[in-house]
Structures are given as C-alpha cells and as structure tokens.
Amino acid sequence: MIVAVLLLVSAVSGIPVELPKSVEKCGYESCTQAEPGVLNVHIVPHTHDDVGWLKTVDQYYFGSRNNIQKAGVQYILDSVVKELWQDPKRRFIYVETAFFWKWWVRQGDDVRHKVHTMVRQGRLQFVGGAWSMNDEAASHYQSTIDQFTRGLRKLNETFGVCGIPRVGWQIDPFGHSREFASLLAGMGYDGLFLGRIDYQDKRTRLNNKEMEMIWRGDDNLGASSDIFTGVLYNTYSPPPGFCFDVLCDDEPIIDDPHSPMYNVDERVDKFLAISKNMSKRYRTNNILITMGEDFHYQDAEMWFHNLDKLIQ
Amino acid sequence: AAKDGLDIKLFYSTPDCYLKAVKDANATFPIKQDDFFPYASDSTAYWTGYFTSRPTTKYFERLGNNYLQVLKQLQVLANLEEHN
C-alpha cells in the first residue's frame, strides 16, 4: 500500500522513487516474473565499453579525442544513473569494473547513495564484473583469475551480496575457450552469454534450436564445471531499426496520433514480428533482446524514453 | 495498447533474470564439451591472426604475470601491508 502510494505520488510529481528497505530485493528475487503461456521478451539495456581499443582507457573514460571515436564512459554512467533513478521499472547492466571503479571513486555521497539503492533493488546489475571482458585465446588462466578477483573484490567491498554478478558476459571476444567456462563455473557463476561464435556453427545452432546449451568446462572436474551457456541472437546489438542511441539514426517511436509522423502501430508490429521470428530459434518461451552497442547510453534518456514507449 | 490480446509480454530485464526464467521453464539443453575456436565471421574471415599478433606485448604480459606472482608471494612471506 505504501509502495503504491509512493509510486502514484512520483508519477504525478516526477519525484524519483525510493522503495522502503523492507521491500528491497536484488538478484533473482528482483526479477519481473515471466508469464507462462506467452512469449516473454526480456529487454536488456547495456553498453559495451572496451577497456582500451581505438583510444586509451583514459581517453575512453573522459571522452577525449572524440574525433577517433565518440565515446566517454563518465557520461554513460552519469546519465544511466539519472535515468534509472526516474523509474523503478527500468533496468541496466554494467560489465567492466575498471571503468565503473574509475567513475565510482569520483562520485559524491548523493550519487553513491542512489547507486547503492538501485543495486540493492536489482535495478542496476553487474554482469561479468571482472576488471575487463577478457580475451579467451591469448590470456593465461592465472591472469584471468587475477583480473576477475580484482573486479569482483571491488564490487563485493562496495555493494556486498547485491553486487555479485551471477552470469558471465563475453559478448565480444573472438572465440571462446573451454577453460574460461570451467573457471566461471568454479567462481560460482550460474550462466554465460556469448556474442561471437563461428558463422557456420551459429547457422546450425539456429536451425536446431541449439543456441543454448550446458557447457561442461572440464572433463576431470565433471558436473561441477557445467555452466549454462547462451549464444545471443544478434551478437550484442539491438534488432535492426530499434537502435535509439544518440549514435544511431533509427526512427524514434512517435505516439502522437495528431502527428503526421505517428508510427506506433507500424513500429510495434515490426518489433513483434522480429520477436516471434527470434523465438523460433530458442527452446523456452523467453528471448533476450540486447538493447545497446559500443559505448552507447552517453545520453541514456534517448534510449530509455523510446524503450518505455515500446514496452507500453 | 497496441499489443492487447497478443500472446507476448515485453519488459525490462537483465541477463540474470532471463537465466532465471529459462531455468524455471525446465527445458532440456544439449551438452557441449569442446571450445568455440576458431572464430570465423564469414568464409574468408578467420580470426586467428590475433593468436600471434603483437608478440612482444604478449611476451611482456606473460613476464609481467610472472613478476606479479613472485611479488604476491614475497609480500605474504614478508608480511607487508597490502596496497590495493
């Protein structure tokens, strides 16, 4: 009852909501329940932030040398936190703890308090959570563990149990090693999501509904090295036509019936068609749609505004 | 309103929550026991060059890892305080 009143007040006045601590839940308990008998479309907003690539780590963080690539992670985290705070239904995942930590140590009490609250409520979730999304071909397993330990320790020290990532998120590495799956299972992760697998393998898996599997990481360790592994449908990009970042130029959702640009029916139909098509390739009545790309959400409002409308 | 009456539900979610929903659905999945190498994005693009690219950087990283492990052990043996 109190919650309902709070929500109502906030909807009217635009004041962001802070749930009472007694109803706070993170992790699996914070999930919107999937409905049996219908196709459940999980909309997952994310940003893929390379820890150094075309620019250095610091250039990416501060957004300098934008003539090379338009990317500034500090703005991403600033604007995502603002937008998440506006509406408790919104969700965001963050992956690279190297960037998150660079940002976190520069925040004041007000922002830290908000982030704490949203992590406790499962609105901001860490996936992967290592210092970076490491390569799986050229890396030594010892270094992989070290960089996981560093990222996870920072998250654990800062957020406790609600900061623990439950799934691995290797959406960009070029191929995947079995040892990595074994390490993840050993570190207590429940699942792993992949972006890039061989194009022929992917074709076969799509045709046979084998995009999701149980990956046994190690023959000697056996069942304790098993990890649920899912291959994402569209690497890690949004479906064609539904990229709402400032870096994209897809049509926004225009829901003013008096506008000649009104396009809700057409956009919704297209999205439903894409969803149904995609669901033919997966075994359960759930699909995961990644809504984000490289260094997206520098202006998170644009993404969330359109996703809100799409979900409505 | 446009999706009324359709058997589809859209909502904000996360990979954790997707995983939970998949587990709750109790489906059976194939088992995989090998790796995902090599990665090819199409028939003429096998991403195997990076296994050996920048060999000096690769060497420096391995060497750095060795030093790091040595330092960690010395730090513990000498009872030095942690700098993290």
- Quick one: closest CA in A to B72, which residue? A146
Is B77 in CB contact (< 8 Å) with chain A? no
- Quick one: closest CA in A to B67, which residue? A143
pLDDT at position A18, please? 62
A56: its two tokens: 């250095």
pLDDT band at A12 (very low <50, low <70, confident <90, very high): very low
Domain boundaries, given as residue ranges, for chain A: 48-311
Inter-chain CB proximity B13 and A228 less than 8 Å: no
**Residue range B65-81, pLDDT digits in tens:** 999 999 999 999 999 88
Inter-chain CB proximity A190 and B19 less than 8 Å: yes
Find the mean pLDDT for residues A50-78: 98
**Residue A184 pLDDT greater than 70, yes or no:** yes
pLDDT at position A13, please? 46
Q: Considering only the beta carbons, identify the residue of B1, B8, B51 that sits closest to A39.
A: B8
d(CA A201, CA A218): 21
**Residue range A188-221, pLDDT digits in tens:** 999 999 999 999 999 999 999 999 999 999 999 9
pLDDT at position A6, please? 45
d(CA A88, CA A123): 7
pLDDT at position B82, please? 76
Inter-chain CB proximity B37 and A175 less than 8 Å: yes
Task: Name which of A30, A34, A190 is nearest A118 in CA terms.
Answer: A30
Residues in B 53-72 with any Cβ partner in A closer than 8 A: 58, 61-62, 65, 68-69
d(CA A162, CA A25): 9
Q: Which residues of B touch A39 (CB under 8 A)?
A: 7-9
Instruction: Express as a percent the part of chain A with pLDDT over 90.
Output: 92
Mutation site for B-interface testing, chosen from A198, A220, A233, A242 by largest number of B Cβ within 10 Å? A198
Is B49 in CB contact (< 8 Å) with chain A? no
Per the document, the length of chain B is: 84
Active site residue A172: yes
d(CA A180, CA B39): 16
Burial class (CB in 10 A: 0-12, 13-18, 19+), A194: buried
Q: Which helix (H) or strand (E) holds A272?
A: helix A264-279
**Residue A166 pLDDT greater than 70, yes or no:** yes
pLDDT at position B5, please? 59
Q: Which residues of B touch A189 (CB under 8 A)?
A: none
Which segments of chain A are extended strands (E)?
A: 39-45, 92-94, 124-126, 167-170, 191-194, 212-216, 226-231, 286-291
pLDDT at position B81, please? 83
Inter-chain CB proximity A140 and B18 less than 8 Å: no
**Residue range A26-46, pLDDT digits in tens:** 999 999 999 999 999 999 999
Q: Which residues of B touch A89 (CB under 8 A)?
A: 11-12
**pLDDT per residue as tens, chain B (84 positions):** 344 557 899 999 999 999 999 999 999 999 999 999 999 999 999 999 999 999 999 999 999 999 999 999 999 999 988 766
ipTM, two decimals: 0.92
Mean pLDDT of chain A: 94
pLDDT at position A20, please? 64
Sheet containing A212-216, strands listed edge to edge, beginning at the edge strand earlier in sequence: A167-170, A191-194, A226-231, A212-216, B31-32
Q: Which of A78, A87, A172, A218 is catalytic?
A: A172
**Residue range A227-271, pLDDT digits in tens:** 999 999 999 999 999 999 999 999 999 999 999 999 999 999 999
Is B3 in CB contact (< 8 Å) with chain A? yes
In degrees, rounded to 5, the angle at the alpha carbon of residue A181 between the alpha carbons of residues A179 and A183 is 70
Find the mean pLDDT for residues A58-87: 98
Give SS3 for B33. Answer: coil
Task: Name which of A3, A181, A15, A170 is nearest A85 in CA terms.
Answer: A15
**Residue A179 pLDDT greater than 80, yes or no:** yes
d(CA A119, CA A7): 19
Inter-chain CB proximity B9 and A125 less than 8 Å: no
pLDDT at position A24, please? 84
Find the mean pLDDT for residues A97-116: 98
In degrees to the nearest 10, what's the CA dihedral of A74, A76, A78, A82?
A: 180
Q: Which residues of A touch B40 (CB under 8 A)?
A: 198-200
- Quick one: closest CA in B to A276, which residue? B8
pLDDT band at A299 (very low <50, low <70, confident <90, very high): very high
pLDDT at position A124, please? 98
CATH of A48-311, one of 3.30.360.10, 3.20.110.10, 3.40.50.1440, 1.10.1060.10: 3.20.110.10
Inter-chain CB proximity A214 and B31 less than 8 Å: yes
Task: Name which of B25, B39, B32, B16 is nearest A279 in CA terms.
Answer: B25
Q: Which residues of A touch B5 (CB under 8 A)?
A: none
pLDDT at position A266, please? 95
Find the mean pLDDT for residues A38-55: 98
pLDDT at position B1, please? 36
Number of residue pairs across A and B with CB atoms under 8 Å? 182
Give SS3 for A93. Answer: strand
Residue B80, min C-alpha distance to chain A (Å): 19
pLDDT at position B4, please? 54
